[in-house]
Structure 1
Amino acid sequence: MATIEYFAEHSIGDASLRAIATGIGSSHRMLIYHFGSRDGLLAEVVRAVEAQQRETLAILAVDPDAPLLDQSTRFWNEVVEATLTYAPLYFELSAQAMQRNPAPSPCGPT
């Protein structure tokens, strides 16, 4: 998703849907159509990044005959690479949540 890469590079801040849309080469109306709101977009970003990490783990677990140390090292390297890219995004979303401005859960209201 282009939005994830955009946020990883530019952060979320208080960017409006219009600013985000311009940054990813879309329109704010398309973002509203697909995600309903800025919060809906942020929830999808969280869901998509988490899904990427789960896919990485699943792919690395495909070879059960590989030594555990090799599997663990490969997973660690993948996680570190993703962390270098996406950690600021996680911290920013966490900070918003701690300031009572949370992005909605990707699982819906609790």
Structure 2
Amino acid sequence: MTPEWLDIGAAVDIPLRGARTVPVEGGEEIAVFRTGSNRIYALVNRCPHKKGPLSQGIVHGDSVACPLHNWVISLATGEATGADVGCTPTIPVQVISGRVLICRSSMLERAA
């Protein structure tokens, strides 16, 4: 099955070192992050620890710190770093001509 890509907007509309969220009907919202080096990542918007909203965390390098208990989550893998253990589902993302596209089928599967 060919992936279906959903255009969620311009990359420049995502704050530098910040995030925006995408609602998922019948599932959990997705957080789309833009790093200081303009890399784009997408994760289910919940920390694996206490389900904190990662979109409200501080982005540093290719990681985000959960606003609840400061767990650091890799934006590339969704894995907690350091001594913490847990994983947040990642969503395939691509940027084409400055537009951010996320994989709709993965978004629905992983956010359910």
Shorter-normalised TM range: under 0.3
Provide TM-score, normalisation by structure 2.
0.25
Instruction: Identify, as 1 or 2, the structure richer in strand.
Output: 2
Instruction: Identify, as 1 or 2, the structure richer in helix.
Output: 1
Higher-Rg member (1/2): 1
Provide TM-score, normalisation by structure 1.
0.25
The higher relative CO (CA closer than 8 Å, separation ≥ 6) is in: 1
